[in-house]
Amino acid sequence: MPSTPPQISPVEEQEKYLHDALGVVKAQAFHMKRALDKNKLMDALKNASAMLAELRTSLLSPKSYYELYMAITDELRHMELYLVDEFQKGRKVPDLYELVQYAGNIVPRLYLLITVGLVYIKTNTSLRRDLLKDLVEMCRGVQHPLRGLFLRNYLLQCTRNVLPDAPDTDVDCPEGTVKDSIDFVLMNFAEMNKLWVRMQHQGHSRDRHNREREREELRILVGTNLVRLSQLESVTLEKYQKSVLPGILEQVVSCRDAIAQEYLMECVIQVFPDEFHIQTLNPFLKSCAELEAGVNVKNIVISLIERLAAFSQRSDALGSEGVNILQEVQLFEVFSNQVSSIIANREYLPPEDMVALQVALVNLALKCYPDRIDYIDKVMLSSVEVLQRLGLEHLESHTPVAKELQKLLKIPLDNYNSLLMVLKLKHYAGLMQHLDYLGRKALSIYILNNALEHETIIPTAEESEQALTLLNTLVTDKNEHPIGELDMEELAEEQCLLARFIHQLRSNEPDDQYLILTSARKFCHQTITALVKAELAELPLRLFLQGALAIDQIGFENHETVAYEFMSQAFSLYEDEISDSKAQLAAITLIVGSLEQISCFSEENSDPLRTQCALAASKLLKKPDQCRGVATCSHLFWSGKSLASKGEETHDGKHVVECLKKGLRIAKQCMDTSVQVQLFVELLNHYIYFFEKGNDQVDVEILNQLIKKIGDELANLESSDEAEQISKHFSNTLAHLKLRMESPDGDRDVYRGIKLNPDGVVETEKEKVDA
Amino acid sequence: MMAESDTTVEATRRLNVKKQTLDDAYAAPANFLEIDVVNPVTTIGVGKKRFTDYEVKMRTNLPVFKVKESSVRRRYSDFEWLRNELERDSKIVVPPLPGKAWKRQLPFRGDDGIFEEDFIEDRRKGLEVFINKINDDYADVTVPVLEAMQHHSTTY
């Protein structure tokens, strides 16, 4: 029928109740001891009974009850010692065991019965088995959870040293064997667990929190039963497998109470030896799968894995054959299977716990089976399957499950410090895909750093391809990065890492090396494209040009096409992305400079490129820039090499002159006369250069005309610093010519006819002749 | 029964106890019945008159109750009705209700009369004590009392 919940009062009331009770105990204990001194056993029993009656209270919290219990049971020692002494002296009290059962209330009755029973056991071991059985069953009389727990605790503590520990025999043994002890303790454990779980249902539902806290305080009472079982020396592995563990697990699973289950499973792991655990993994883990939703199964399993991994490495971890236990127990396989089962069966297991279990498995494999890379791969595969089944893609970086996954993926790398080993894991790349963009990026960087730190060489094309695929988050841009500004510095750093890594891809076999580079080339292209997208212009431009130059050098099949492609890309970049006029000039100069060095192009490729350069130059924003640009282009037609010229300089004098003439025309269009003159001087220098190189299209006539023009214009310039500079430049140019003309070495004939001083003509021999 | 004595004494003979199944052992005891009177709310009712009612919550796992959980709102006059019914019909000594508070219903008070927060809280506690006392002391009327509470209301 409905009962009034026990009135547990607040702290001061508790203190008062306890204080009062302890007062009674003190008084009764005093009288009891005095009666014993006078050998008045009946009186002493009455006092003991009165003292024990305080344990009938409903007023005390578990903490206070415990204090009272300790005080009373301490005093009971005196009774016990007295009786043992009497019995040993031969003064056995007749029917004492019977006698104490007449005590009025059940709580004192049973405490006395246990005390007296202990005395009997100590003084006559042939009664042991039957007495123990009787006592553990009699305790059923107290069904109140708190009182019952302490009563049974008293039973357990009293019998601590008298439990039979002899191996079982076929002969009937009234002293008892280890089987009787196991039965005794298991029954006590079952009853205590029942009472402990029952506490959950006591009191008002709003007090649940308090109740659970109180239950936690009492858990050691239940756990002591398991400790006792572990202390029985005759409990062999077989006994543990057949009687002890099944008995415990039955109670743990059936009680369906999360608090009890979580505590007791951990307790089992702690109190019994690793030798037992390693041989009973299947039943234990199966039970784990059946525990209540509120139990943190992950922690239980992981603590067991770590324990047994450590244990298996010990030299004394031997199986029945005397060889290392790992030969007998397939530790990884067992755990792997059971963990899968647990994951499949537990509805409320959060995904981060599932991944944490995989982490534990990987660590187990690495510790105990370091050469079994297939085990690591199996864990990778299981993880992929788990995530797929849950439909989890793109795990957001800040979530617990993503963090666990990152941890998992780093472990093989940290352990082997070899990207090559990681590449052997077939399911690694697939697992990595479950991270989101940021996660994959972070991991890719981690991998790169590891590879660079340990100077890992990737020796084959296949592995190079695999590696670059693994790192594809850094390599290709799938527009995945989050909205917001792209951090340039970060990007540059990443690409640097990648670039350094590319150098790790190398083989001593040239064929392999070529294949590797083909993969790398693909990557280079992708990287540069990525940079372009990132709105960097100059850098990718340089890279394309450098790429083209490099490709030009390496004579692999088709390299012309590839180089052309790079040059085209460079041009597109120039046209699309570079808009600042200064930048344009610099860029076109770069392009021209690069093109000039490339020799692999055939005419049908080199012609359009050169023309494009000239065209681009002529379209520059500012006239002076145009002039200079076009002048620079002229060199393409002279010293640029191609297949047509068999790798030799082209020496296309005509096109050179065309460029320079265009340059002149542009210069004349300049508004500023001083700029004009400056440009003329520069152009003159270009002309002289080609003249000296033997361009037959540049003749003395052209030179003279230009020299005259410059002279004229210079005279008309207003005096200024600038004009002086230009004048100086011109003088230097003329001085150079003069030197050449008068030089004892070299071809004076070449310079014949040059009028250095247009107004005052210096006659040369030829002229004298003609005149 | 034990030791050297041959005689088996009736008084201390052991009972034959049937082994309990695991399900029974760990099942929640079917003795749980909680009644709470909570959440007083003052509202405007018919004829623009204010009144206060309370939530009467019941939770149980006793087999005799068909419905294991219920919640209704009842006011003081409903409790009065219940008390009158009990006094009339049964032979039990019905516990007292918290006071009617006539004085508080007079006009020209400085405070809010029967709608004062403290007063309502005291009344709430009193009503909870009342209903639980009936339940504790008179187990056999519990079911009819609670069912009456569920179905009868002077307001709704």
**How confident is the model at residue A523, as a pLDDT?**
66
Average pLDDT over residues A22-40: 97
Partners of B5 on chain A (C-beta within 8 Å) are: 94-95, 98
Burial of A479 from C-beta contacts in 10 A (0-12 / 13-18 / 19+): exposed
Integer Cα distance of A592 and A541 in angstroms: 12
Partners of A122 on chain B (C-beta within 8 Å) are: none
Nearest residue on chain A to B15, alpha-carbon basis: A138
Q: Which helix (H) or strand (E) holds B17?
A: none
Q: B12 and chain A: CB distance < 8 Å anywhere? A: yes
Integer Cα distance of B90 and B87 in angstroms: 6
Q: Both tokens of residue A258?
A: 């999360």
Main-chain phi, psi angles of A479, to 5 degrees: 55, 35
Whether residue A562 is predicted with pLDDT greater than 80 in this model: the reply is no
Among A127, A200, A257, whose Cβ lies nearest the Cβ of B3? A127
What percentage of residues in chain B have a pLDDT greater than 90? 26
3-class SS of residue A476: coil
Whether residue A204 is predicted with pLDDT greater than 50 in this model: the reply is yes
Length of chain A: 771
pLDDT in tens, A635-669: 888 888 777 777 778 888 888 888 899 999 998 88
Q: Do B29 and A198 touch (CB under 8 A)?
A: yes
3-class SS of residue A235: coil
User: Which ipTM score applies to this complex?
Assistant: 0.75
What percentage of residues in chain A have a pLDDT greater than 90? 46
Average pLDDT over residues A665-674: 88
Residues 3-22 of A with CB under 8 A from B: 3-4
Whether residue A710 is predicted with pLDDT greater than 70 in this model: the reply is yes
**How confident is the model at residue B6, as a pLDDT?**
46
**How confident is the model at residue A239, as a pLDDT?**
96
Q: How do the residues of chain A divide into helix, strand and coil, expressed in percent and rounded to 5? A: 70, 0, 25
Integer Cα distance of A452 and A419 in angstroms: 10
Contacts of B156 (CB under 8 A, 6+ apart): B73
Integer Cα distance of A710 and A759 in angstroms: 12
Which string of DSSP letters, residue by residue, matches A685-708?
A: HHHHHHHHHT-TTS-HHHHHHHHH
Do A136 and A154 form a contact (C-beta atoms < 8 A)?
no
State the virtual CA torsion across A540, A542, A546, A549 in degrees, nearest 10. 110
Do A290 and A251 form a contact (C-beta atoms < 8 A)?
no
Average pLDDT over residues A94-103: 89
3-state secondary structure A634-685: HCHHHHCECCCCCCCECCCHHHHHHHHHHHHHHHHCCCCHHHHHHHHHHHHH
Do A146 and A196 form a contact (C-beta atoms < 8 A)?
no
Higher pLDDT, B62 or A248: A248
Which residues, listed in sequence order, are joined to residue A140 by a DSSP beta bridge? none
CA neighbor of A212 nearest in space, from A230, A235, A196, A226:
A196
Among B12, B22, B32, whose Cβ lies nearest the Cβ of A98? B12
Q: B4 and chain A: CB distance < 8 Å anywhere? A: yes
Partners of B62 on chain A (C-beta within 8 Å) are: 2
Among A127, A131, A201, whose Cβ lies nearest the Cβ of B32? A201
Burial A99-137 (b: 16+ CB within 10 A, else e): bbbebeebbbbbbbbbbbbbbbbbbeeebbbebbebbbb
Whether residue B68 is predicted with pLDDT greater than 80 in this model: the reply is yes
3-class SS of residue B36: strand
Whether residue A327 is predicted with pLDDT greater than 80 in this model: the reply is yes
Q: B142 and chain A: CB distance < 8 Å anywhere? A: yes
Partners of B12 on chain A (C-beta within 8 Å) are: 98, 101-102
Partners of B3 on chain A (C-beta within 8 Å) are: 95-98, 120, 127
Report how far apart, in Å, the C-alpha atoms of A564 and of each of A519, A551, A589, A603, A638 are: 18, 10, 18, 12, 20
Integer Cα distance of A262 and A222 in angstroms: 13
pLDDT band at A277; cut points 50, 70, 90: very high
pLDDT in tens, A374-404: 999 999 999 999 999 888 888 888 999 999 9
Report how far apart, in Å, the C-alpha atoms of A44 and of each of A27, A34, A110, A135, B3 are: 12, 8, 16, 22, 21
